[in-house]
Amino acid sequence: MPVITYREALKSAMAEEMERDERVVLIGEDIGIYGGTHLVTDGLLERFGDKRVIDTPIAEGGFTGAAIGMAMTGMRPIVEMMTWNFSFQAVDQIIQNAAKIRYFSGGQASVPMVIRGPNGGGVQLSAQHTHSLEGFYGHFPGLKVVSPVTPYDAKGMMIEAIRDPDPVIFLEAGALYGTKGEVPDGEYTVPFGKARIAREGTDVTLIGYGRQVNMLLKAAETLAADGISAEVIDLRSIRPFDVNTIVASVRKTHRAVVVQEQWRWFSVASEVAAIIQEQAFDELDAPVERVSGAEAPAPYARNLETAAFPSEQHIVDAARRALYREV
């Protein structure tokens, strides 16, 4: 299979769907002439024209609301948030309208739209541009929330998102855009609500999503050198969430470590730990470990940013604690 970057996989998915379905349009800040802050939409203006690749003013609430109206009247808009932190300006539109219109209308109206852009840290954008919002958006019924890590999943889940009848929050990571992986030519989709077993193991289950999955795989290699067999699960989808894969893995390994960039309190890791406790409590041989970001605004300085987010060593130490090994 061809090896392409994460950003190329996203662009390929959007371009293929724009070719297939003339209802698909792109809308957002600097996505046309500039090609997107992370070049995900580079070249699409020239290919599809300014009626389908729409540069907007810096007005997230305005263009998100416009996209909701487009979706309600039969189009399939893809909204780019230059960074997911900017979506705070559009929260009322996303939560009060996009997430609820199907419910309010008794199923007579739907909002088939995708809102995408970089989420989380690792690229030195400081406190106002470095939030992990999967827990925030995952809280609201009516929204689907996904966070792919591989280029293969990025393309397959983007196509799935564009075709979905409901609003999809598509969380990318700035640190992943240049990463590479195998992506087949042609059309395929990756379903929501199905986790991926990225590495099989027998002693401890390491659970994460987004760019943290790559760190989990590195930690699993380190643990393997110490004779510990770690199973790595990539959640891929935050809402809907694959309970069965998580529970089956914990029943096999009897230990779990959940990793996220988010702050610890009221987070995805908290929910995963609660689900494990509810459905696999008798299988646990140790408390569920959580590895999270520091409870502070994200710092700009590289050394402090690195210290504020989970590291491979943090994950290894948590796995060893779960196995009652000295740390």
Positions annotated as catalytic residues are 60, 129
- Catalogue the E-assigned strands of the chain: 3-5, 24-28, 53-55, 76-80, 114-118, 144-146, 168-172, 180-182, 196-199, 204-208, 230-234, 237-239, 256-263, 289-293
What one-letter code names the amino acid at 174?
A: G
Tally of CB atoms within 10 A around 50: 11
Instruction: Measure the CA–CA gap between 143 and 112, rounded to whole angstroms.
Output: 11
Assign residue 49 a region (left: φ > 0; alpha: ψ between -120 and 50; beta: otherwise).
Answer: left
Distances from the Cα of 321 to the Cαs of 204, 246, 253, 255, 291, in angstroms? 11, 20, 14, 10, 12
Instruction: Measure the CA–CA gap between 50 and 33, rounded to whole angstroms.
Output: 9
Instruction: Measure the CA–CA gap between 249 and 216, rounded to whole angstroms.
Output: 15
